[in-house]
Structure 1
Amino acid sequence: MDWSMVKEYLPFLVPLVIAQLALFITTLVHVLQHPHYRFGNRVIWSLIVMFIQFIGPILYFAIGRGEE
Structure 2
Amino acid sequence: MSLQDVNFQVVLPVLVIQLVLMIIGLVDLWRRESTLTRGPKLLWVFIILLGSILGSVAYFTIGRRSES
Return the match for 1:33 from 17, 24, 31.
31
Task: Identify unmatched segments of 5+ residues in structure 2.
Answer: none
TM-score normalised to structure 1 length: 0.84
Alpha-carbon distance between aligned partners in 2 of 1:3 and 1:55, rounded to the nearest angstrom = 25
Aligned to 1:67, the other structure's residue is in SS state coil
The normalised TM-score by structure 2 is 0.84
Q: C-alpha root-mean-square deviation of aligned residues, in Å? A: 1.2
Number of matched residues? 65
Percent identity reads 29
Secondary structure of the 1:54 match is helix
Residues 2 and 48 of structure 1, relative CA distance in 2, 3 Å threshold:
closer
Which amino acid in the other structure matches residue 59 of structure 1?
A
The 4+ residue runs of structure 1 with deviation greater than 2 A are 1-4
Structure 1: unaligned runs, 5 residues or longer: none
